[in-house]
A and B are shown apart, each in its own frame.
Chain A
């Protein structure tokens, strides 16, 4: 059971805008940056968003991140078939003595 809660699944049709939520608490999302990762089937995860809303070079601006209080969201606009993947949010948790934490992941299906 992760300290970050994501919906297990999401879906959309090509061209649509979809959002994936990530809910936490004051000790994690509420006081730390949020990161988002995309994992295509059979591949290693890829950093999609860092510091709540920044995109690494090469990530299309169709992907955007936001944070408000103890929740964060990843939005994907102009949905494409190649966006079908698992998406994970991540952050640090100040109440834990370990490294960062991940959400349980959201499987995005492009209908």
Chain B
């Protein structure tokens, strides 16, 4: 069974940092593209970042470019999102998501999400 479990969320002050983790199981992690998607309270989905299976291709939404860093450790079946210079508008539930088969743009599997709250 495919499982994705996020952790690392919490309350942080504006300007602070946080590192999210997503530990996966049930599939060969190194074979799949991974993504971070967030959802602000009561709002829609925002695709935050994408990383290819070997980490050679990375994309960021303009809203987080220069502040967030996506990475992966295929040996540890883990995906990360380092978030720096956090702002109030970064408050959201952050989901990690895996591509669906060979369809790298289809987010076929999602974690349960971890809540990040940026507030003083």
Contacts and interface: CB of A to CB of B under 8 A. Distances in A.
Interface of A: 2, 32-33, 35, 37, 39, 44-47, 50-51, 56, 86, 88, 90-92, 96-105
B44 A2 contact: yes
Contacts of A96: 62
23 contacts: A2-B44, A32-B105, A33-B103, A35-B107, A37-B45, A44-B111, A45-B107, A46-B110, A47-B107, A50-B106, A51-B103, A56-B100, A88-B44, A91-B105, A96-B62, A98-B60, A98-B61, A98-B65, A99-B47, A99-B59, A100-B47, A101-B47, A105-B44
A102 B45 CA distance: 6
Given A51-B106, A92-B105, A45 B47 contact: no
Contacts of A51: 103, 106
Interface of B: 35, 37, 44-50, 59-62, 65, 95, 100, 103, 105-108, 110-113
Contacts of B37: 45
Given A45-B110, A51-B106, A101-B47, 10 more contacts: A33-B105, A33-B106, A39-B45, A44-B111, A46-B110, A88-B44, A98-B60, A98-B62, A102-B45, A102-B46
Given A32-B105, A44-B95, A98 B110 contact: no
Instruction: Provide the main secondary structure of the chain B interface.
Output: strand
**What 9 A-B pairs come out closest when comparing CB atoms?**
A99-B50, A50-B106, A44-B110, A99-B59, A105-B44, A102-B45, A98-B61, A99-B47, A100-B47
A13 B107 CA distance: 30
